[in-house]
Amino acid sequence: MATTNDLKNGMVLVLEGQLWQVLEFQHVKPGKGPAFVRTKIKNVLSGKIIDKTFNAGTKVETATVDRRDMQYLYNDGTDYVFMDSADYDQVTISPELVGDAANFMLENQDVQIAFHEGTALYIELPASVELVIAHTEPGLQGDRSTGGSKPATLETGYEIQVPLFLEEGTRVKVDTRSGDYLGRVKE
């Protein structure tokens, strides 16, 4: 058990029998009335995000979440196989749980997987990853580095928008939360 004063981003709470991850929180002390904590929380299993307000100092139940460093090994056709970096145990995770993370994962890439009582909850990728453009239409003479973008397929098969001057084989940095192009990576 913890109180709402102890909340931190990433903490997992048990509310009404379900697991909720704290995305944002804010302590509010109005001029009149008691202080309260405004939170934005995400249901770990369904992905639904809601806003919830707690009175300051209210007791909340926290879930024990074990975050383990894992390495993505391969996709066996249906599921994704990961290996624990500490004890080399292999874990198979369903595509539903992997979700959009599959768009940014390459074999042998390190990720963090959160477990609760032996059950995998979600995958945490780094904020950005470096991937190579596998296919894009060539830029035309007169294309400017400012303005304009074109679709490019990354080596994972995910499609993003990139500036017109980028070519196939270019290594780019991509934001794993939004899927946005962040820049070229110097070789």
Please give the tally of structural domains in the chain.
Answer: 3
The domain that holds 20 is classified in CATH as 2.30.30.30
**117 and 136 together in one domain:** no
- Using the 3D structure, point to which of 25, 46, 62 is the last residue of a domain: 62
Hey, which of 42-46, 48-52, 95-99 has the most confident mean pLDDT?
48-52
Buried/exposed 91-111: b ≥16 CB within 10 Å, e otherwise: bebeeebbeebebbbeeebeb
Which candidate, 81, 78, 13, 94, places its Cα nearest to that of 50? Answer: 13
Residue 38 pLDDT class (50, 70, 90 cuts):
very high
122: CB partners within 8 A, 6+ apart? 21, 44, 97, 113, 114
- Using the 3D structure, point to which of 124, 157, 173 is the last residue of a domain: 124
User: What number is the average pLDDT over the span 92-107?
Assistant: 87
Buried/exposed 118-132: b ≥16 CB within 10 Å, e otherwise: eebbbbebeebbebe
Which candidate, 106, 107, 99, 155, places its Cα nearest to that of 124? Answer: 99
**Start-end of H helices in 24-138:** 95-98
Residue 53 pLDDT class (50, 70, 90 cuts):
very high
- Using the 3D structure, point to which of 19, 43, 62 is the last residue of a domain: 62
Whether pTM exceeds 0.85? no
The domain that holds 109 is classified in CATH as 2.40.50.140
Structural domain that includes position 142: 128-184
pLDDT, tens digit (0-9, with 9 covering 90-100), for 137-186: 886 655 555 567 888 999 999 999 988 888 889 999 999 888 899 988 88
185: CB partners within 8 A, 6+ apart? 130, 171, 172, 173
**102 and 154 together in one domain:** no
Q: Mean pLDDT score of the chain, rounded to an integer?
A: 87
